[in-house]
A and B are shown apart, each in its own frame.
Chain A
């Protein structure tokens, strides 16, 4: 069975400070892990993905995430927040062979960026 838990429903940071959005997963096999971002009134956009290659994954807009198997975590980070980063972020776990209903979305973390 798979599950994904986003540990914070809301995160608030000041512009220019680091961002940390936490995600823990459980899976009985080696999953693929993704982070998506959703800006208001927009669809979901892929930020980055982990597919059993390098454990530190770099994505778009300066975001990166590190896969830590021992901690079953895939936290999303960015060194310096920008106002345009304010959005909702979803952590997603998917089995290696694909599969629609085996794709699990986290509940989402809403990021607020203060000027």
Chain B
């Protein structure tokens, strides 16, 4: 298996533009997580899905952020409009979500909003 695949690896955009980050979880995993990592806040869980359904999005910072999982093999995290303070590395992770299974992380998308 190729692991969790995220795209793009790097994104530079201007303030106010829409940004869409993409994630393909490991096949067979039924839980998907979106994290944001910054120097100031460390790793923050933004939202997680179980069987394509958003279970808890209380970590999403603002209404500008939205996430979807239209099927078991694809998820998006959208920021509209983007702001400089959104600059961070965004990680997607997936897990079997059964008992004690661990989460597998993608390589991350480094977002820079100028």
Q: Is the A/B pair a real complex?
A: yes
Among B4, B31, B43, B99, the residue within 8 A (CB) of A100 is: B31
Instruction: Please determine whether A34 and B99 come into contact, CB atoms closer than 8 angstroms.
Output: no
Q: Does chain A have a CB within 8 A of B25?
A: no
Q: Does chain B have a CB within 8 A of A96?
A: yes
Q: Which residues in A have their C-beta under 8 angstroms from that of B95?
A: 98
Q: Which of A20-28, A42-50, A69-77 contacts B (4 or more CB under 8 A)?
A: A42-50
Instruction: Please determine whether A43 and B58 come into contact, CB atoms closer than 8 angstroms.
Output: no
Within the complex, the shortest CB–CB distance from B56 to chain A, in Å, comes to: 5
Instruction: Please determine whether A101 and B56 come into contact, CB atoms closer than 8 angstroms.
Output: yes
Within the complex, the shortest CB–CB distance from A20 to chain B, in Å, comes to: 21
Instruction: Please determine whether A100 and B101 come into contact, CB atoms closer than 8 angstroms.
Output: no
A interface residue count range (under 10 / 10 to 19 / 20 to 34 / 35 or more):
20 to 34
In residues 37-79 of chain B, which contact A (Cβ within 8 Å)? 42-43, 45, 48, 50, 55-56, 58-59
Given contacts A100-B56, A101-B59, A105-B42, contact A94 B105 (CB under 8 A): no
Given contacts A90-B43, A103-B45, A107-B42, contact A98 B98 (CB under 8 A): yes
Instruction: Please determine whether B107 and A43 come into contact, CB atoms closer than 8 angstroms.
Output: yes
Instruction: Please determine whether B105 and A43 come into contact, CB atoms closer than 8 angstroms.
Output: yes
| Contact bitstring A88-104, B, C-beta under 8 A = 1, else 0 | 00100010111011010
In residues 59-114 of chain B, which contact A (Cβ within 8 Å)? 59, 91, 93, 95, 97-108, 110
Instruction: Please determine whether A44 and B91 come into contact, CB atoms closer than 8 angstroms.
Output: yes
